[in-house]
Structure 1
Amino acid sequence: MTQQNEEMTLSDHLSELRKRLIYVLSIFILGLIAGFFVADPVYRYLTKAETAQGFVLHAFSFWDGIGIYMKIAGLFSLVITLPFTVYQIWRFVSPGLRPQERKASLKYVPYVFLLFLVGVAFSYYVVFPMALAFTSTITEKMGLVETYGMKQYFSFLFGIVLPVSLLFELPLLIMFLTGLRILNPIRLRKMRRVAYFVLIFIAVVVTPPDFISDLLVMIPLLLLYEISVFLSAVVYRKQLAADQEIESRYERADDKQHVG
């Protein structure tokens, strides 16, 4: 009977997971459809930086224009779907959380969207112009004529903006995992050197190969990690206080029973 109940429980979990995935996929498809309507104005806005540099984008394939519109629509759908996905993850794991943990972790969901937008703004208005200016300067010094395909331009753009934007979710991810008792500030401090190495490596990869550009991206990423450790400590202290309060209640209840 016990084995059968465990199988039923596993089946219920898989069914619940499938339902959440269907919800997320449905929102992503709806966001993708809506993305096609905003693809043109977004495309025109994103090509302003390229126009200011004095070069014109070219289509080297019949599918380049459609492909770029689909990428823009996909990115738009990702932005819309991201907070909903996090909410569905919370709905899936919330039955295993304590009431106070369930309530506290739910507060993170709206900030997923906000931090992602902050990451998009930082990567597009700070990192991308530096990378574009650097590559254009090198091209000019080599005496080359700048003739870029729109596919290459947007691959370069999205290759910078998307990873940096997702990294801005690090504080919320750390807080969420701390809330689930998977991470804690003690463990994060012990792995600080490894985390610094990974973040510095990412900063070097997504920026032009010059020290100033690397530094401008590296410092915010390292600050994000330290902010994550601080927020993890805040959540951890609240957890310890809640655990101590529960233990105190049990002790008082036991004392009453002994007195009775």
Structure 2
Amino acid sequence: MAAQQKEMSFLGHLEELRWHLVRSAAVVIILAVVFFVYSEQVYDYFLLAHIQPDFITYQVFCDFFNFFGMDSDFCHVTFSDKKLQSIEVTSQLMNSLWSSIILGIIVAFPYLLWEIWRFVAPGLTDQEIKHSRGFIFIASLLFFIGVLFSFYVIAPISIHFLYNFQISDNIVNSFTLQSHISLVTNLLIGVSVIFELPVVIYFLTKIGLLTPQFLRKYRKHSLVLVLIVAAIITPPDIASQIIVTIPIMILYEVGILVSQRVIKNQEKNAQKSSRV
């Protein structure tokens, strides 16, 4: 009888998880439909915005470097060919559908986190729920800051460099729609996930895999790793790499403070338990 109740409890959790997933998928699909209906505006003003020479980031970077007396290619932005190729009959339709789904997931991120929280919360103690109340807000805020940073900093830097990179004059750059959109969407999601670093550090510290001492000890190693990543996703100039490296290292330092706070709370709770 007990085994049957346990099995029913497990099946009940599966049923509950199924409805969380159904609601999450429904919200993403609704948002994806909206983006698909307005595909022309989404592409012209968002996904293809970075191949416009007057994109705001290029102007800001130009003024920034000129202020410090540095010459920059961002003051002379040109794209040899802004027309992207669609070489398959269904490529525009499928690209629009896939991009709409990705943008739907990005916009629905807070709701998806909320559904995850609703599923996990019943298994947490009152104390754990109290300490995790701001989880959805903080994680969503970091995620959307990552989206903005990717859209206004990483994507324009990368696209400007890649569109103008040429090994030989005998080679002509003629990019496909798929390659461009994949680059933009991958950067949006990838950088946004990187901005969740403090949240990841929080949970890894909670389960005992990270400590503030460990993070401080390997701070220099982390800086080298971030510089390598920045060198890969940005043009080969120091100014661009610094622009990318600074916010990531700030997040790393914030992660150290978060880890330290978690350890202190755990020590306080342990002291209270020992007194009882």
Paired letter, 2:44:
R
Change (3 A) 1:173 1:83: farther
Paired letter, 1:49:
H
Q: 1:13 matched to which residue of 2?
A: 13
Paired letter, 2:43:
Y
Give yes or no for the alignment of 1:56 onto 2:73.
no
Select 1:171's aligned residue among 185, 198, 208. Answer: 198
Q: 1:27 matched to which residue of 2?
A: 27
Q: Is the 8 A contact 2:147 2:188 kept in 1?
A: yes
| 2:166 alignment partner, SS class | helix
Change (3 A) 1:197 1:140: closer
Paired letter, 2:82:
V
Q: Is the 8 A contact 1:101 1:179 kept in 2?
A: no
Q: 2:138 matched to which residue of 1?
A: 111
Report the CA distance between 1:102 and its aligned residue. 0.7
Q: How does 1:199-218 map to 2 (within 5 A)?
A: 199-200=226-227, 202-208=229-235, 212-218=239-245
Report the CA distance between 1:77 and its aligned residue. 0.7
Cα offsets for 1:117-160 (capped at 9, x unmatched): 21122122212222222223322863544432222221222232
TM-score (norm 1): 0.79
Q: Is the 8 A contact 1:82 1:112 kept in 2?
A: no
* Structure-1 separation of matches of 2:247 and 2:184: 20
Identical-pair percentage: 29
Q: Is the 8 A contact 1:42 1:72 kept in 2?
A: no
Q: How does 1:217-228 map to 2 (within 5 A)?
A: 217-228=244-255
* Structure-1 separation of matches of 2:213 and 2:123: 24
Q: Is the 8 A contact 1:40 1:69 kept in 2?
A: no
Q: 1:39 matched to which residue of 2?
A: 39
Cα offsets for 1:145-182 (capped at 9, x unmatched): 44322222212222323211211112123324545666
Q: Is the 8 A contact 1:130 1:208 kept in 2?
A: yes
* Structure-1 separation of matches of 2:182 and 2:13: 38
TM-align CA RMSD: 3.0
Report the CA distance between 1:209 and its aligned residue. 5.0
Change (3 A) 1:193 1:95: farther
Residues paired across the two proteins, number: 249
Q: 1:238 matched to which residue of 2?
A: 265
Q: Is the 8 A contact 1:174 1:232 kept in 2?
A: yes
* Structure-2 separation of matches of 1:183 and 1:21: 31
Comparing 237-246 and 118-127, the one that deviates more: 237-246
Change (3 A) 1:81 1:213: same
Paired letter, 1:37:
V
* Structure-1 separation of matches of 2:124 and 2:203: 12
* Structure-2 separation of matches of 1:205 and 1:12: 47
Change (3 A) 1:160 1:79: closer
Comparing 186-195 and 224-233, the one that deviates more: 186-195
Q: 1:254 matched to which residue of 2?
A: none
Report the CA distance between 1:244 and its aligned residue. 3.0
Report the CA distance between 1:225 and its aligned residue. 2.2
* Structure-1 separation of matches of 2:98 and 2:236: 27
Please list every run of at least 4 consecutive aligned residues from structure 1 whose deviation after the TM superposition is greater than 6 angstroms: none
* Structure-1 separation of matches of 2:159 and 2:168: 14
Report the CA distance between 1:226 and its aligned residue. 2.4
Paired letter, 1:239:
Q
Q: How does 1:73-84 map to 2 (within 5 A)?
A: 73-84=100-111
